Amino acid sequence: MNGVLLIDKPAGLTSHDVVNRIRRILEQRAVGHLGTLDPLATGVLPLVVGNLTRLAQFYTDSEKTYEGTIRFGFATDTYDAEGEPASEARPVSISLTELQQLAARFRGSIQQVPPPFSAKKIQGVPAYKLARKKKEVKLGPVEVEIKEFEITSVASELAEFHARVASGTYMRSVAHDLGALVGCGAHLAALRRTGLAEFTIADAHTLEKIEAAAAKGNCEALFVHPRKLLPTMPSMTVNDEVAALVRGGRAVNLPEFSRAKQVKVFYGQADLIAIANRVAGTLFHPKIVLAGPPVAQATGIRG
């Protein structure tokens, strides 16, 4: 079983919890995820299954979109609702217009300090492990890109927002820093990821739906069609002869793609067998092979 499965992650589970549950449902060990979500967060969590776990390398810098809620009045030590208050509660009085003006400061390339409770490493140790032991956590600022950040509504101490960010951006830090600008403190109260790369929440499935499908033996019907993966990369459908070469890790000539750097190689409509890199002219060499040669092809019976 090889493919990409989109999960609508519920709150309260870590991304690894979801991976473990899908491993049990599919009875398959080779399952990974693209882009960690905090336990508090919900939404799009793409999982790669079987041979397609090797596609993870193409999604390390994926853009993400979010919707969420920021609570003003006090900060927390985790920068979200799961942490302990890190400041005294203060009264909140701020308008939508004022917040929208402050939010504009976060758009573009900015310097951001990750939350103390994060996976960022300090001398090889994840920051959250040090923070849990009450050890001092000093994380330096890193450059991140926030392409969109809009406050869409305000009601009392709660503000709703929409964001589109580059990889490595912490919305918890955005909430915390915005609260510091307002002067009353703030933290992330809720977060829902609505998109990652080409994947959207509209195509995501609950764990319960996947479990029900697996019980009926048609779980693979819920996988993302391989033709929809990596849509900015051109694709090529090859014949038996070329497929055998690609599956064997051999370079092939693809004259239609003289300007492409990488190409998705398909055998038939839905069998993604490789991602190939252009090495010179129209000569492409498989960067990763996702499907080995069938026995018939390997013995020369076919193709």
Q: Is the pLDDT of residue 231 over 80?
A: yes
Q: How far apart are CA 287 and CA 267, in angstroms?
A: 16
The pLDDT value given to residue 1: 84
At 8-66, the pLDDT tens digits run 999 999 899 999 999 999 999 999 999 889 888 999 999 999 999 999 999 999 999 99
At 198-226, the pLDDT tens digits run 999 999 999 999 999 999 999 989 999 99
Q: Is the pLDDT of residue 126 over 60?
A: no
| Choice among 38, 77, 203, 240 that is catalytic | 38
Question: Is 8 one of the catalytic residues?
Answer: no
At 233-284, the pLDDT tens digits run 999 999 999 999 999 999 999 988 888 999 999 999 999 999 999 999 899 9
On whether the CB atoms of residues 151 and 101 are closer than 8 A, the answer is no
Between 18-32, 75-89, 144-158, the lowest mean confidence (pLDDT) is in 75-89
Q: Is the pLDDT of residue 132 over 70?
A: no
The pLDDT value given to residue 78: 87
**Model confidence, pTM:** 0.87
Burial class (CB in 10 A: 0-12, 13-18, 19+), 68: buried
| Structure confidence at residue 139 as a pLDDT band (50, 70, 90) | low
Q: Which helix (H) or strand (E) holds 152?
A: strand 142-155
Mean pLDDT of 92-96: 91
Sheet hosting strand 271-280, strand order edge to edge: 235-237, 262-267, 271-280, 283-289, 252-253
Go through the domains of the chain in sequence order and give each one's CATH number: 3-62+198-227 (3.30.2350.10), 64-196 (3.30.2350.10), 234-298 (2.30.130.10)
